[in-house]
Amino acid sequence: MPQLQLKDILDALGCEHKVVGERETIVERALPIDVADERSITFCNKQGDRGRSLLCRTRAGVVITLKDHEETCLHREDGIFILVDDPRLAFSRVLRRYFAKERSTGVHHTAVIGQNVSISPDAFVGPFCTIGDDVTIGGGSRLLGSVTIYDNVRIGRRVTVHAGAVIGTDGFGYSRDPEGRVEKFPQIGGVVIEDDVEIGSNACIARGALVDTIIGRGTKIDNLVHIAHNVQVGEDCLIIAHAQIAGSVRIGDRCWLAPSCTINTGVSIGDDAMVALGSVVVRDVEPGTFVAGNPARPTIRKL
C-alpha cells in the first residue's frame, strides 16, 4: 500500500495545476468520490451543480477536479483540491504511477512457442498462450492468458493483448470455380501491431491476403472486435466492443468507432472521424466527420 504525500501526487500529474487547501496529508488508496475517505485520492470531472454537489459531500483527502470548481473548493475547510483541465486524465496518471499492479515478465511454462520467435526479455507471455512461427514481440509487451498469435506477426513495444484474443487468423477470402464450388484464396500476408496498442479480450485480427494488416501506434481495440484482412488502422484510434471492420478498410488517425458499428469492405475513414453506435458505413467518410445511422450519414456531433 503506497504512502503518498501531496508532492508525490503533483509529480505524477504531468499538467498545469493549482492546489487549494494545501496541507499535510497521507494518501493510501484510490477510490470513487462518493465512497472516498480522508486517506483516499479521487477525481471529479462533473460540471455544474452535479460537480459542486459531489465536491461538497466527499470526504476524500485529495480530489483532482476541474478549474471551474475553484470557488466551491475554497469553501471547504478540509481536504486538498487539485484543479486541472482534465481531472480524469490527471487521476489516471497518478493511478498508473502508484497504484497499478507491477507487471510480470518472462514466458509462462504453459505457453507454446513456435520457431524463429523473438520475445524481448522484458515482455510477458502468459499462461496457455500459443505463439506461431516467425513472430516478434517487442519490449514491455504483455500477452495475457490464452492469447493465440499465428505465424508472421510482428508486435511492437508496450503492446497489451488481453485474454482470448487471436491475431493472424486467415482472412475470409474465397472464390467459386465454374461448378460453384468454393476455393480458398491463400492468405499469405502478416499482421503488424505497432507500439502502445491495446487489444481487448476475444478480439480477432486477420492477416493480410498479400500485404500485412496494420494496427497503428497507440490505437486501443476493445473486447470482441473483428478486424478483417488487409485493414489499415491509423494511430491513436479507439475501436469499441462489437465493431466489425471488413476487408481492405482504411482508417485514419484518431478515429472513434463506437460499439456495434459495421464498416463495409474497402471503405476509407478519414482522420478524426467518428462513427456512432450501431452505424453501418457503406461509403467513404471524410476527415473530421461524425456519421450515424444505417446507412451511416454525416450528422451533427452533439447527437
Segment 198-202 mean pLDDT: 98
Q: So what's the architecture of 6-98 in CATH?
A: 3-Layer(aba) Sandwich (3.40)
Q: Do domains 6-98 and 106-298 have the same CATH topology?
A: no
How far apart (Å, rounded) are the C-alpha atoms in residues 250 and 228?
11
Locate the domains of the chain by residue range: 6-98, 106-298
Give 68-119 pLDDT, tens digit per residue: 999 999 988 888 999 999 999 999 999 999 998 878 899 999 999 999 999 9
Give the pLDDT score at 301: 58
C-alpha cell at 159: 503492446
Q: What percent of the chain has pLDDT over 70?
A: 99
Q: Is the preceding peptide bond at 259 cis, omega within 30 degrees of 0?
A: no
Residue 77, classed as helix, strand or coil, is coil
For residue 50, CA distances in Å to 41, 47, 74, 81, 226 come to 19, 6, 17, 17, 38
**If you average pLDDT over residues 127-139, what whole number do you get?**
97
CATH entry 2.160.10.10 includes domain 106-298: yes
User: Does position 303 have pLDDT exceeding 70, yes or no?
Assistant: no
Categorize the per-residue pLDDT at 1 as very low, low, confident or very high, splitting at 50, 70 and 90.
confident
User: CB neighbours (10 Å) of residue 76?
Assistant: 15
Average pLDDT (211-218) is 97
d(CA 215, CA 277): 22
Residues with catalytic roles: 229
